Structure 1
Amino acid sequence: MRIASLIHNGRQSLGVVDDRGVRPIPDSADMPKDLMAVLPESEVLLERISKSVADVPPLPLDDATFLAPIPVPGKILAIGLNYRAHVEETGREVSPHQIWFNKQRTCIAGPNDVIDKPVASDMVDYEGELVVVIGKRCRHVPAERAHEVIAGYMVGNDVSVRDWQRRTPTMQMGKSFDTHGPIGPWMVTADEIEDPQNLTIKASVNGEERQSSNTSSMIHSIREQIEHLTTAFTLEPGDLIFTGTPEGVGAAMDPPQFLKDGDVVRIEIGDVGTIENRVANEVAKTTIG
């Protein structure tokens, strides 16, 4: 099932997406209003959602505004240098350990929202990634059982401000600017993806293909990532895992090609979906409260 968060005719709701369009869930007090409410009881609620939209006529996708499926994740965890060719283009060596960093949850943006080119930097880059949505609270999960805690998958763009990223070993500041975590366009439930380690992943800027790879090229598989993370701490429903980006980032081009005002970044992952975000110069305003 493909579950989206959307706005149609001024009403926000969840919706079920199929080849004919999107079917908004009817407004009802006993139906979940957001995906976070679905995750802890997904087996029961997904069946109810499916039944609730059975007689709802599909809307064309263009008639709805799609929002970030998980607007306020508990944690956003991202693995760095997880495709060998990407490691090579950066001039580094493959690490014997998994390399993790956090993105702040305020970076989340919708699948078609604007990406800010911040006033603080001219070195903004794209990173197309498969995003895993955790569906169950878990700890010490062996790799062979990792599939049990995955609710679904989304497309993500780990937008990176390269000069800020390089200033500190954690990389957190350069990975967490507002709007620098577009996700969507919906969550595809785990049962719909036969093999998450065999999905095409592409990124283009203004129609020019920049990244083209397959999730089979990950150094550390999704199952290994979950095993590694849960060795240290608990994962919870709604936590997001950005699983790494392949080669082709703008910083590795000669000369480097960073994003600028007006650019359009498109990330496509086979069987999951597509997100497309326009870049615009940030209008910096002080906000307090």
Structure 2
Amino acid sequence: MKLLSIDKNGTYILGVKTEEGIIDMEEALKEVPSQDLTSDVMDVIRGGQERLASLQNYINNLDRSNKTYVLNEETIEWGPSVTRPNKIICVGLNYRKHADETNAPYPKMPILFNKFNNTLTGHKKDIAIPKVTDKLDYEVELAVIIGKKAKYVSEDEALNYVFGYSTSNDLSARDLQLKTPQWLPGKSCDDFSPLGPYLVSADEVREPNNLSLKTIVNGEVRQESNTSDMIFSCAEIISYISDHMTLEPGDIILTGTPEGVVLGYPEEKQVYLKPGDVVTVEVENLGKLENKFKKE
């Protein structure tokens, strides 16, 4: 299934993508109540496969010609595909060619850092470039969304703990990021983790380490790669993180970015994001995530 969040004046409502349009679950449940379901995407994630199956059954039996709750995708306001994660954990330097372009050695274990909920925003949302940076960079990433509590999970079992996947843009203020050994200031400004448009259930993504990725800036392709270039696979990352902390349903793991970021260009060719730029990041089967940038 493809789930999403509809932003209704700052309140995020569960949406479901169908051939007929986007099902607004708040409006649908008013007309066709269900004891098993709510209009909150986090409830679906925490309910796991059983809740997902209930939602699929509900959608299958719903009158999808009803325009009260079947919306045109072009008219909705998008929220982040996951709205209230307990944790946002990111992996740095996890693509071989990206490490090569930044002259960094391949890490011997995953390099982890964190972001916070203030960084989450949705598809088609304008993002203000913070006045404290002159070097804002894009990073297309595969986001892994945890579906079950995970602690000391083996690599063989790790993908069984995944609820689904999303496209993400791990925005990075390079001048802030590189001021100190800790990357936090350059990674956690407001709206620095657009996520979506969809949360695609894991059953629709058979092999997360064989997905194409792309970034387009103002119509120009800047990043084009495949998750097969990861140094640490999704399963390895989940297992490694679960050895150090308990992963909870709804936790987001951003798995790293491939080559083609501005930081990887020779200094004389580095042109960072500026107001008016439009960035589209895409992961195969997960949808295109587009944001326009503006002055703060």
TM score, norm. by length of structure 2:
0.91
2:248 alignment counterpart: 236
* Amino acid paired to 1:99: I
How far apart, in 1, do the equivalents of 2:224 and 2:39 lie? 36
1:263 alignment counterpart: 277
RMSD: 1.8
* Amino acid paired to 1:117: I
SS state at 1:51 partner: helix
SS state at 2:186 partner: helix
1:136 alignment counterpart: 148
Deviation at 1:43, TM superposition (A): 2.1
Q: What number of residue pairs does the alignment pair up?
A: 282
2:114 alignment counterpart: 102
How far apart, in 1, do the equivalents of 2:147 and 2:20 lie? 27
1:41 alignment counterpart: 47
1:164 pairs with one of 172, 176, 180? 176
- Does the Cα contact within 8 Å between 1:154 and 1:187 map onto a contact in 2? yes
- Does the Cα contact within 8 Å between 2:214 and 2:224 map onto a contact in 1? yes
Task: After TM superposition, list the pairs within 5 Å mapping 1:55-204 onto structure 2.
Answer: 55-57=63-65, 58-204=70-216
How far apart, in 2, do the equivalents of 1:220 and 1:10 lie? 36
1:221 alignment counterpart: 233
* Amino acid paired to 2:156: E
Deviation at 1:173, TM superposition (A): 1.2
Q: Deviations over 1:216-275 (max 9, x none)?
A: 111100000011101111000111000000000012223212000000000011111110
SS state at 2:263 partner: helix
How far apart, in 2, do the equivalents of 1:250 and 1:19 lie? 37
Q: Deviations over 1:43-98 (max 9, x none)?
A: 22222222322322353311322211212211110001111110011011112121
How far apart, in 1, do the equivalents of 2:180 and 2:155 lie? 31
How far apart, in 2, do the equivalents of 1:103 and 1:49 lie? 30
* Amino acid paired to 2:277: D
SS state at 2:143 partner: strand
How far apart, in 1, do the equivalents of 2:12 and 2:180 lie? 39
- Does the Cα contact within 8 Å between 2:88 and 2:254 map onto a contact in 1? yes
How far apart, in 2, do the equivalents of 1:66 and 1:9 lie? 11
* Amino acid paired to 1:15: G
| Structure-2 change in CA distance of 1:12 and 1:168 (3 Å) | closer
- Does the Cα contact within 8 Å between 2:200 and 2:286 map onto a contact in 1? yes
Say whether 1:281 aligns with 2:287: no
Task: After TM superposition, list the pairs within 5 Å mapping 1:22-33 onto structure 2.
Answer: 22-25=22-25, 26-27=28-29, 28=33, 30=35, 31-33=37-39
Deviation at 1:13, TM superposition (A): 2.9
* Amino acid paired to 1:56: R
SS state at 1:111 partner: coil
Deviates more, 1:229-238 or 1:1-10: 1-10
* Amino acid paired to 1:49: L
| Structure-2 change in CA distance of 1:9 and 1:113 (3 Å) | closer
Q: Deviations over 1:8-64 (max 9, x none)?
A: 799953222134432222124732221111122122222222232232235331132
Deviation at 1:114, TM superposition (A): 1.5
How far apart, in 1, do the equivalents of 2:11 and 2:172 lie? 33
Q: Which ranges of structure 2 fall in alignment gaps of 5 or more residues?
A: none
How far apart, in 2, do the equivalents of 1:159 and 1:190 lie? 25
